[in-house]
Structure 1
Amino acid sequence: MPPASTLPSGRRVIVTGAAGGIGRAIVEALGSADCAVAACDAPGTDAPFSFDVRDRAAVKDNVAKAISGLGGCDSVVANAGIVDTIHRAERFSEDEWRKDLETNLYGAFFVVQAAFDALGQSGDGRVVLISSVGAEVGSPGQVAYGASKAGMVGMGRTLASEWASQGIRCNVVMPGFIATPKVLAMPAEVQDGAKTAIPLGRFGTTEELAGAVSFLLSPAAAYITGTVLRVDGGFGLLLR
């Protein structure tokens, strides 16, 4: 028997956060693998589906439209995320706390929940949640972001357990430092300091992260669910 393909050819995929560096790379990688992709992002972006993931009604409406346009849906990549406020925990207002949590965690849940029926009907549903090493590293100033990304890990494992009987697999990708425009805009000394903490000595590329997502949507990953795949150049080794 030949090995299972590592390409997610022919899948129908909803991708959130599709207009940013990581999201755009995911959309391009899936498109090159002959997937049909519904690219979603916030209002004001150039994404075909633009809505606020914190707005549950808007999520339901746009996910339904995306599923209709795709002729079904067998995959969701929940990538929408922000780091809106950075300062010490005791200074966070309720609104600041809520914004990161509602965008990163609530938004991911609303999207995958809205796609549940279609994922189950496909017979081979896949969910990939894009978390962050920020879920584990405890970066000062990022209490809301860290909590939201840690919540995605717990959510992903629970969905994997609950939805397996519907043929839906759910996995979490945990990026480290990825060379997005935001990361590359950091001061040179900050970038150099970050690289010294990465065993591979460099930032990852958006294409490398997109490759991990593509793999988890491929036939080769059919027996993988409930896992956390770190794409961090070994940065997470320092946390374990």
Structure 2
Amino acid sequence: MTAAVDRILALDTATEACSAALYVQGDITSRCLVDPRGHARNLLPMIEVLLSEAGLKLQQLDAIAFGRGPGSFTGLRIAAGITQGLAFAAGLPVIPVSTLATLAQGADNDAVLAAIDARMHEVYWAAFSRDRDGVMQPVVEEAVCPPDRVTCPGRGEWQARGSGWKAYGDALNNHCTGRIVQYEPEALPHAADMIPLALQLYRQGRSVSAGQAVPVYLRDQVVQTAKLESK
């Protein structure tokens, strides 16, 4: 049975952008601010404004979605921590959403190579194709690797999106010559683009409890650090 959903709050702080979006019965309102060091300061006021403008209380939502990564280690922890706190307080389920899928969802093209600068001369990347419902689905699963190891799957044309293309455009193009028809290297994930992904996941029964709202870092050494810190 498909789960009904009318109200979802979406949060993302995985990159330089801090954004929040509120879905209410088909309508989406959002706030976004590019302030890499201000995520912890900016996110809660954004949420308060969105709920106030909609005349809603947190407890009236159906779920909270958050950008679970990959992305900035600190940024992911901020979104996950705030999501956990709000979800625990209001007794709401949580919908973890891929940051790369959110980045791809905002594209004009139906086939997207999403890449985020992972530092250390690596990128977080994945390939996506839009399904019949307009929601991006992975064609190549997300990974972290040097940019010259990224490949264009299949034989079609792709839209390139994300900071990985800004930082390592030449290297990323090594295996994609003639296959990229549109570049958006300045594109950042936005919580409003997370909404279609979150709705689909929720209807598929893929929400989790507040305690399971944890980031996905991809890098093994970062995961090990996070595990040690949690002990």
Q: Report the TM range for the smaller structure's normalisation.
A: 0.3 to 0.5
Query: Structure 1 or 2: larger strand share?
Result: 2
Q: Which has the higher helix share?
A: 1
Q: TM-score under structure 2 normalisation?
A: 0.40
Give me the TM-score of the superposition, normalised by structure 1.
Answer: 0.39
